[in-house]
Chain A
Amino acid sequence: MRLPKFEYFAPKDLKEAVSILRNEPSAKILAGGTDLLVNMKHKVECPPAIVNIKGINDLDYIKQDNGAVRIGALTTLKHIYMTSLISEKLPALAEAASAVGSYHHQTMGTLAGNICQQNRCKFFNQSLWWRSSRPTCFKAGGQICHVVNKKEICYSSYCGDVGPALLVLNAKIVVTSSRDSREILLEDLFSGDGKAPLNLNPGEILVEIIIPLEEMDGVSGYTKFANRENIDFPIVGTAFWASMENKEYRVAFTAVDRKPLRAHQAEAFLNGKNLNEEILEEAAELAAKDAKPVKTSVYSTTYKRRLMGLLLKSTVSEAMRRAKS
């Protein structure tokens, strides 16, 4: 399958990159390419221009300063989990990064790329010919969603692994354009709209991920449940962070909604309590109520909800066990 044609830009620095993006509002950013290029071969994304940002220096780093761990957007997933600072102090992020796809995807894929990945659906992630059996779906430029058979709405799922891990670490991101640079909570990046999953304006690029240092004081973990252990997208992914002293807990899921889901209701219920199996089960039920999985894949929503509870328990117990040792 050939890639469609596009105009190609390879800026040498960030200034050039944002300037190009300002002039080419429909351009797509190319980082690792493992998501974008597949979608382009399927012709669900056909940007007239591509801006390859891998030539920009100083976007690949992991450092600790100013009360935070700062990770450059182009840091590869492999680099993240191979860095002891992350694997020892922020295990949820390391586990999430090492859960993504195959070894090759982890070598090629970047942190920002994984965060900003396109939403997925069994009607969307298919070739142009395959999709010609039905009217074009809303997300791909048509009018109807084939999952729920409604017009002008998209229910595609967010399936990225690092998203929920960063959410429980209260991560922030820095978004830069030619006009300004803003720092926002990662949670605010996700729109919850399947068709346009990211709250990014044209011309904006995610350049840095910031994790407050105090997150390292907690225990954390991420578990992915998929059909085949590593290589598949999650059926459900669960991230967990806790401060055992303060009995403060954070829970997030992926592949259960149109965005990575921070389970606020479940967290409110858990906070202040000692954790045991019943409490976690109740929390999972609250989280399942928060989630809105639809059948964008071949797995049923009942199964997903069931897995949310299971994974929450296993992620918590694994995180606790690791913390003790």
Chain B
Amino acid sequence: MGKELNVVGARLPMMDAAQKVKGTALFTDDLILPGMLFGKILRSPVPHAKILNIDTSRAEKLPGVKGVYALAKDKVRYIGDDVAAVCAIDPEIAEEAVELIKVDYEELPAVFDPLEAKREGAPEIHEGIKNNTSFAIKKEFGDVQKAFAECDAIFEDIFYSQPVNHAPLEPHAALAQFDPLNGELTIWSSTQIPFFLRRNLSNTLQIPESKVRVIKPKVGGGFGQKIDLFAKDFCAAWFAIQLGKPVKFVYEREEVFICTRQRHPMYITVKTGMKKDGTILAQKFQAHADGGAYNSTAPTMIALSCYFLMIPYRVPNLIYEGYHVYTNKPVGGAMRGHGIPQARFAVERQLDMIAARLGLDAAEVRIKNSIHAGEPHPAKFIINTCGFSDSVKKAADAIGWKEKRGKLPLGRGVGLAGASFPSGVSNMSHISSGAVVQLGRDGAVNVLSGAADIGQGAETVISQIVAEELGVPIEDIRITAADTGITPLDPGTFGSGVTVRAGNAARLAAISVKQKLCNFIADKLEANVADLVAKDRNIFVKGSPEKGMTLSEAIKSYQYADLPMPIVGRGSWMAPATEPTTLFKEDGNFAPSYSFMTQAAEVDVDLHTGKVKLLRMVTAHDCGRAINPMLVEGQLEGSVVGGMGQALYENVIVEKGQVMNPSFLDYGFPTFLEMPEIEAIEVETDDPIGPFGAKEAGEGTQLSPAPAIVNAIYDAIGVDFMELPITPEKILDALEEKKNRKNS
């Protein structure tokens, strides 16, 4: 790289780590305001029904109840749908009051399968939405029919990816307060999207955005589940306005499981045409996403699952058909990967199966089809850096591919899967970020950023970038973030865009303030501005450190000059878009940059009980450059265990529209005892777009663990699994079936 970096690239603890280990970090439910009231939501026990009547009289009479409101809707569309809300002086009374609300439902026929819901005659879940399909696209890149004709072999397979719950440790919560004199609403919310939340609250409450202030406290995990305006946000705000008191809503764990969001279950058919040497020529991909009762982020999810079929492998001809279909079940939304994990599972599995059918090595097939930086792309992606084929080689080496694949005893196996993810998105409006950097007389640096840190360490990464730019240690940085009343705009934490987008904005703001300062002191130092460097809390002439002054002296002399102005630097950043695109109308570069990775898994299948143990997962990961390697590892390790959960343990089990396992006990995601060995290998490509070369590192890493594990299971026991999760029972059934087939 050539660059000598001091703060960027360092393994630093998160800036708020001390608060978190001391228990003084404040999450939404930790906030108390005088006179605070507590809310609870009444939810539908039936999957599909007209609301005939809501009788709140008994609830209203309960001493301590301050307000009961029915939500303005005529229908409920899933078990868990919000119906009414209560506000009381303490949570116990609120709970009691909810039980006293009597609702008369007229049950309607319900539908629980998206393929059935799409058919003629299926119950209509949303008025006017034909075939319950809220969103559908068909896109073609290249000429698929022609390409299929040129293939040596065509394979078609069907896959299913199950509903998964994010299960963040902190339940969703909101605390709202209203000032009747100036008409301003303030809301603290456990959210990933403070600015979008502001907009959505403004629209639903009919208050101007300028009168809505959203503040994000510490957030205890989101993974996509805290995107969207939820009933707790709206109801807290509504009650605060009506009652003139602060109002807090906190969800129970079962509400988080049932009434927030989950990863869309997807039914997928993939048809892939190959040359016999393993070159992919064409692909036809059809997906039915089970959207549950409402739309949430359907179009984005479908778009991602479409476009990211053409990366990390070269797929020059593609037909994508995607449907988002309503069912009377919990709502699908953004979850780490947002449509891509499901697609990735299908294509990575199929690629392995194709390699086996063609007698090719699964790692080499991936290298063969790997995209490279700068090559033309069917959807016009601009790929400046790409470490994919490198990542395949490194992951394969590290897992011992040559020695192990196909060679381990029955029950042990290794498998690979690759992926790519956008570092934020280019082709949507409002995806821009702003930052402000202010300098204090003692050299202290104050950063304002709209970025929403939900535990991934965004504030730390941004601070490292600013510190590097200004030549100060990170201890000198103080950051205020994610307060729509104070900080500049940022779309929020989704699409893995924060480091690139908010990081770049902060970098530009730091450069801006550094520039102002340097312009001023260049005269004093009798130097050219271009020759000044900032390092170790000093600004000096490159090569002549004695010709300089401390940052603090520089600021003071700036402030005492004839025309003192505050030292403020501003920056804003948006991904360069090649053409204006609206996701589906025109092609264009989808994201400012793309991360790449390959994960290699080694598993041990217990042939008696069917339990699969993930022994080891290696990730070779191209995130451009790791601004903070310790935080990047954290993202990776969390993703691997999350992917393992998706592959082997997790499933939102729904019977007749009811979630049967809405608890941490029954929805068993991995614990310490399931932890595998995890190894991270960095593939540094130093991207030109991201700050200091960085690309995303938070979501891409959860795309490939599940297929890597399933591919390893194939190597271990010779069974192709087409559905997730792979439970011990399924393993035993498959082994039994395999035995019977052999015998017959």
Contacts and interface: CB of A to CB of B under 8 A. Distances in A.
| Any A–B CB pair closer than 8 Å | yes
Interface stretch (B174-182, B187-195, B662-670): B662-670
A2 interface: yes
B46 interface: yes
A307 B254 contact: no
Interface stretch (B207-215, B421-429, B567-575, B653-661): B653-661
A324 B220 CA distance: 50
Nearest to A122: B660
Contacts of B95: 1-2
Nearest to A133: B45
A299 B46 CA distance: 25
B732 A306 contact: yes
Contacts of A122: 660-661, 666
Nearest to B729: A303
Given A2-B91, A228-B671, A300 B729 contact: yes
In the complex, which of the residues A228, A307, A310 has the most CB atoms of chain B within 10 Å of its own CB atom?
Answer: A228
In the complex, which of the residues A127, A129, A230 has the most CB atoms of chain B within 10 Å of its own CB atom?
Answer: A129
A133 B658 contact: yes
B43 A129 contact: yes
B674 A229 contact: yes
Interface string A215-233: 0000000000101111111
A225 B729 contact: no
B724 to A, nearest CB: 15
A218 B653 CA distance: 43
A2 B97 CA distance: 13
Contacts of B45: 129, 132-133
A232 B99 CA distance: 31
A148 interface: no
A225 B609 contact: yes
A184 interface: no
Given A129-B45, A130-B254, A227 B653 contact: no
Nearest to B90: A2
B92 interface: yes
A185 interface: no
B732 A303 contact: yes
Interface in B660-694: 660-662, 665-666, 668, 670-671, 673-674
B74 interface: no
A129 B79 CA distance: 10
Contacts of B608: 310
Contacts of B673: 228-230
A133 B674 contact: no
Interface string A126-140: 111110110000000
B156 to A, nearest CB: 31
In the complex, which of the residues B43, B662, B665 has the most CB atoms of chain A within 10 Å of its own CB atom?
Answer: B665
A1 B649 CA distance: 26
Contacts of A228: 649, 668, 670-671, 673-674
A310 B732 CA distance: 12
B581 to A, nearest CB: 44
Interface residues of A, number: 25
Nearest to B664: A231
A298 B99 contact: no
Given A127-B254, A298-B660, A307-B609, A231 B729 contact: no
A132 B46 CA distance: 9
Contact of A298 (B79, B661, B670): B661
Interface string A78-111: 0000000000000000000000000000000000
Interface string B47-64: 000000000000000000
B252 interface: yes
Interface in B237-265: 252, 254
B729 A299 contact: yes
Contacts of A229: 671, 673-674
A145 to B, nearest CB: 15
B649 A227 contact: yes
A231 B732 CA distance: 23
Nearest to A235: B728
B269 to A, nearest CB: 28
Interface in B445-495: none
A273 to B, nearest CB: 23
Contacts of A298: 653, 660-661, 666
B668 A232 contact: yes
A223 to B, nearest CB: 11
A132 B99 CA distance: 10
B293 to A, nearest CB: 15
A127 B666 CA distance: 13
A279 to B, nearest CB: 17
B609 A232 contact: no
Interface in B596-640: 608-609
B729 A130 contact: no
Contacts of B662: 126, 130
A227 B252 CA distance: 24
Contacts of A127: 252, 254
B729 A230 contact: no
B574 to A, nearest CB: 44
A2 B252 CA distance: 11
Contacts of B661: 122, 298
Interface in B360-413: none
In the complex, which of the residues B252, B658, B666 has the most CB atoms of chain A within 10 Å of its own CB atom?
Answer: B666
Interface in A40-96: none
Interface in B76-95: 79, 91-92, 95
A82 to B, nearest CB: 20
Contacts of B666: 122, 298
Nearest to B670: A228
A230 B515 CA distance: 58
B690 to A, nearest CB: 38
Interface in A170-203: none
A299 B670 CA distance: 18
A133 B79 contact: yes
Given A2-B95, A129-B43, A227 B729 contact: no
B254 A310 contact: no
A227 B671 contact: no
Given A229-B674, A298-B660, 7 more contacts: A122-B661, A127-B254, A232-B668, A298-B661, A303-B729, A306-B732, A310-B608
8 contacts: A2-B92, A2-B95, A126-B662, A130-B662, A133-B658, A230-B671, A298-B653, A310-B609
Interface of A: 1-2, 122, 126-130, 132-133, 225, 227-233, 298-300, 303, 306-307, 310
The 7 closest A-B pairs by CB, nearest first: A229-B673, A133-B45, A2-B92, A132-B45, A227-B668, A303-B729, A228-B668
